[in-house]
C-alpha cells in the first residue's frame, strides 16, 4: 500500500503533465456526465452531452491558463497577457448559455432556472477539475446531485402543502369563471386575485386566467385542480 501511495505521489498529478491532463479531463467528463444524467432523466433542455462538453471546455480553459502561466515564468519579457482571465471569461460567458435554457410559459411561469444554474455550476466544476482541484470537483458534483434529486422532493412537498397557490386555467366561455369560483368556494378555499389574460394558441382561440388562491392545510392542491378540470369548458389547468 505504501508503495502504491508513493507511486501516486510520484506522478505529480497536481502539476501539468501528460498523466494529469488525462486525469483532469476524465474527472471533468465524470462530473459533467453525472450531473447531465440527472438532467437528461428529467428531460431538461441541457442534458448528458451538454453538461459533459461544458465541463470539458472549462477544464481545458484552466489547463490552458496553467500552461500559459508556465510560459510566462519561462519567458517573462515576451509574455504580457494575464492567463487568469481565461477562467473569469468562462464564468461570465456561461450566462449566455444559461439564458438560452430559461423560457417563460404561456402562464407567465419561468422554467429552466435550475438547468441554467446547473450549467453555470458545472462550468465551475470543470474549472476546478482543470486546475487539479479533484476533491472540490467531486465534492461539488455530489452536492449538485443532492440539490437536484433530494432537495427537489422537499421543494415539491413544501409547494404541495402551501396555503397560497397560483393556478393558470384555459376555458371556453366567460360563464366558466362563475363555475370555477363556485367550485373553489365549495372546497373551502378563497380566491385572492384573478388576472384575466389573453391566450390564442394556433390550434384554437381560448380564454385564460390566473387565479391566486388561499387554502387551508386540509386542502390538497391536486384534488382541487382535478375538480376544476372536470368542469365543462375547461381546456387546461396548470399550477404555477
Query: Are 30 and 96 found together in one domain?
Result: yes
In a domain, 3, yes or no: no
pLDDT score at 160: 65
Q: What is the mean pLDDT of residues 135-141?
A: 89
Beta-strand pair 206-214/164-171:
antiparallel
Give Cβ neighbours of residue 18 (< 8 Å, ≥ 6 apart): none
Instruction: From 107, 128, 159, give the residue that closes a domain.
Output: 159
Q: Between β-strands 206-214 and 190-199, what pairing exists: parallel, antiparallel or unpaired?
A: antiparallel
Domain stop point among 159, 178, 208: 159
> Residue 59 pLDDT > 80, yes or no?
yes
* Distance in angstroms between the alpha carbons of the first and the last residue of the chain: 56
Residues 42 and 116 in one domain: yes
- Clarify whether residues 52 and 147 are in a common domain: yes
Alpha-carbon distance of 3 to 132, in angstroms, equals 23
Query: Do 55 and 128 fall into the same domain?
Result: yes
pTM above 0.85, yes or no: no
Domain, as residue range, for 173:
161-239
Same domain, 92 and 182: no
Q: Which CATH number belongs to the domain containing residue 222 in this structure?
A: 3.30.70.60
pLDDT at 1: 47
pLDDT of 63 reads: 87
Going by their DSSP bridges, the two strands 190-199 and 164-171 should be labelled as unpaired
Q: Given its phi and psi angles, is residue 166 left (phi above 0), alpha (psi -120 to 50 degrees) or beta? A: beta
Cell, residue 174: 366567460
Query: What does the pLDDT read at residue 171?
Result: 86
pLDDT digit string (tens) for 18-57? Answer: 788 888 899 899 999 988 888 887 777 777 888 898 999 9
Q: Are residues 124 and 186 in the same domain?
A: no
Q: Does 3 have pLDDT greater than 70? A: no
Structural domain contains residue 227:
yes
User: Which residues lie below 8 Å from residue 32, measured CB to CB, with a gap of 6+?
Assistant: 51, 52, 53, 54, 55, 56, 122, 125, 126
Residues 82 and 169 in one domain: no
How long, in residues, is the chain?
240
- Is 6 inside any structural domain? no
φ and ψ of 144, to 5 deg: -65, -45
**Residue 127 CB partners (closer than 8 Å, separation 6+):** 58, 59, 61, 62, 87, 90, 91
Q: Is the backbone of residue 18 left (phi > 0), alpha (psi -120 to 50) or beta?
A: alpha
Of 176 and 164, more confident:
176
Residue with cell 508513493: 6
Query: Are 81 and 43 in the same domain?
Result: yes
CA–CA gap between residue 83 and residue 25 (Å, rounded):
19
Where is the domain boundary, 105, 127, 159?
159
How confident is the model at residue 83, as a pLDDT?
A: 67
Q: Is residue 4 part of a domain?
A: no
* Domain match, 92 and 112 both: yes
Do 100 and 122 fall into the same domain?
yes
Domain match, 154 and 169 both: no
Domain count along the chain? 2
Do the domain assignments include residue 1?
no
Does 71 map to a domain? yes
Q: Are residues 22 and 124 in the same domain?
A: yes
Amino acid at each position: 500500500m505504501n508503495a502504491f501511495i508513493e507511486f501516486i505521489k510520484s506522478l505529480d498529478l497536481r502539476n501539468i503533465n501528460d498523466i494529469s491532463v488525462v486525469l483532469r479531463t476524465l474527472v471533468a467528463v465524470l462530473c459533467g456526465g453525472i450531473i447531465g444524467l440527472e438532467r437528461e432523466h428529467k428531460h431538461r433542455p441541457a442534458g448528458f452531452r451538454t453538461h459533459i462538453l461544458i465541463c470539458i471546455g472549462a477544464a481545458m480553459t484552466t489547463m490552458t491558463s496553467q500552461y500559459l502561466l508556465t510560459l510566462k515564468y519561462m519567458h517573462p519579457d515576451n509574455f504580457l497577457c494575464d492567463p487568469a482571465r481565461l477562467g473569469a471569461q468562462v464564468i461570465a460567458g456561461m450566462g449566455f448559455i444559461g439564458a438560452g435554457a430559461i423560457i417563460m410559459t404561456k402562464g407567465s411561469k419561468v422554467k429552466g432556472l435550475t438547468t441554467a444554474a446547473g450549467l453555470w455550476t458545472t462550468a465551475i466544476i470543470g474549472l476546478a477539475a482543470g486546475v487539479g482541484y479533484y476533491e472540490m470537483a467531486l465534492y461539488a458534483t455530489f452536492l449538485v446531485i443532492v440539490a437536484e434529486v433530494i432537495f427537489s422532493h422537499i421543494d415539491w412537498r413544501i409547494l404541495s402543502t402551501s396555503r397560497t397557490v397560483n393556478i393558470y386555467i384555459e376555458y371556453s366561455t366567460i360563464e366558466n369563471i362563475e363555475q370555477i369560483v363556485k367550485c373553489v368556494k365549495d372546497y373551502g378555499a378563497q380566491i385572492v386575485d384573478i388576472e384575466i389574460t389573453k391566450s390564442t394558441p394556433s390550434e384554437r382561440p381560448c380564454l385564460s386566467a390566473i387565479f391566486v388562491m388561499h387554502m387551508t392545510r386540509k386542502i390538497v392542491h391536486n384534488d382541487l385542480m382535478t375538480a376544476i378540470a372536470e368542469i365543462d369548458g375547461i381546456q387546461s389547468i396548470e399550477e404555477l
